[in-house]
């Protein structure tokens, strides 16, 4: 087994994680960096005054869409300071890769432009379901109903070099096809201790997305040697 096959997946903090602070807050993203997450994921939306924000839900509250309210109003409705993409990019620069999940196709150009300027090409992964931004985006593998088509046909058709796969769909054959085609893989969202240990032992996964980055990194470190080069199995983690 060569060196490229002898490594555990990198850890991505889904919305910054929720262990140390509420997910999607500045404190959550700062906590993810503090525990050593190599990737940090956030959903990108745009407010009515053009502010690009990290906000998961399409609705800000009281029936108002995020796109229909100003940034100040969004913060008021959310009851907190909603992270701005420019601030998050500066926070991540040189420390972790920013995984930007585009929720609105119209914001693709400014989001990608800002991210590339602040993080560089090696510091950005963009995911979207819109083929129009395929040159800079990855695509989520979805269950396909058309017989005979590769499970990766959307990824291949887009020219994307990443595939983001839900853990229930991340079959060995899918991951093997990705590897054979030179497509990097990101498996989401894995949280339980046993599942974390199992997926962290998979050298055919490049990035593991979790709401529990601190726990995932602790497990990866604890069983690091067992995960390398087939020396053993991480097994079932002990509590704590």
Q: Is 215 within a domain?
A: yes
Q: How far apart are CA 141 and CA 139, in angstroms?
A: 6
- CATH of residue 112's domain is 3.20.20.190
Q: Is residue 207 part of a domain?
A: yes
The whole domain housing 159 covers: 3-42+86-224
The answer to whether position 170 is within a domain reads yes
**pLDDT at residue 228 in the model:** 52
**Are 26 and 81 spatial neighbours (Cβ–Cβ below 8 Å)?**
yes
Q: How many distinct structural domains can be found in the chain? A: 1
For residues 2 and 64, the answer to whether their CB atoms sit within 8 Å is no
In a domain, 144, yes or no: yes
Q: Look at residue 59 and tell me if it is in a domain.
A: no
* String of DSSP letters for 166-212: ETTT--HHHHHHHHHTT-EEEEE---SHHHHHHHHT-TT-SEEEES-
Structure tokens at 153: 């046909």
Considering the entire predicted model, what is its pTM? Answer: 0.85
Q: How far apart are CA 161 and CA 211, in angstroms?
A: 24
pLDDT at 108: 81
Q: Does residue 131 form part of some domain?
A: yes
Residue 45, Cβ neighbours under 10 Å: how many? Answer: 24
Query: Which residues of the chain register pLDDT less than 70?
Result: 1-6, 129-151, 224-240
In a domain, 115, yes or no: yes
- Give domain status of residue 49, yes or no: no
């Amino acid at each position: 087994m060569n060196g490229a096959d002898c490594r555990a997946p990198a850890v991505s903090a889904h919305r910054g994680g929720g262990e140390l602070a509420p997910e999607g807050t500045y404190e959550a993203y700062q906590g993810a960096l503090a525990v050593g997450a190599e990737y940090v994921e956030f959903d990108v939306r745009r407010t009515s005054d053009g502010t690009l924000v990290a906000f998961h839900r399409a609705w800000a509250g009281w029936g108002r869409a995020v796109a229909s309210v100003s940034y100040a109003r969004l913060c008021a409705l959310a009851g907190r300071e909603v992270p701005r993409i420019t601030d998050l990019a500066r926070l991540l620069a040189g420390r972790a890769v920013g995984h930007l999940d585009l929720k609105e196709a119209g914001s693709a150009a400014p989001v990608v432009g800002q991210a590339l300027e602040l993080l560089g090409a090696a510091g950005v992964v963009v995911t979207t379901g819109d083929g129009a931004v395929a040159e800079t985006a990855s695509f989520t593998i979805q269950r396909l109903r058309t017989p005979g088509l590769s499970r990766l046909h959307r990824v291949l058709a887009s020219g994307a070099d990443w595939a983001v796969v839900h853990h229930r769909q991340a079959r060995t054959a899918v991951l093997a096809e990705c590897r054979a085609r030179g497509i990097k893989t990101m498996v989401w969202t894995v949280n339980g201790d046993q599942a974390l240990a199992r997926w962290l032992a998979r050298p055919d996964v490049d990035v593991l997305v979790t709401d529990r980055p601190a726990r995932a990194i602790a497990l990866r470190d604890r069983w690091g040697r067992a995960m390398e080069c087939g020396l053993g199995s991480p097994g079932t983690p002990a509590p704590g």
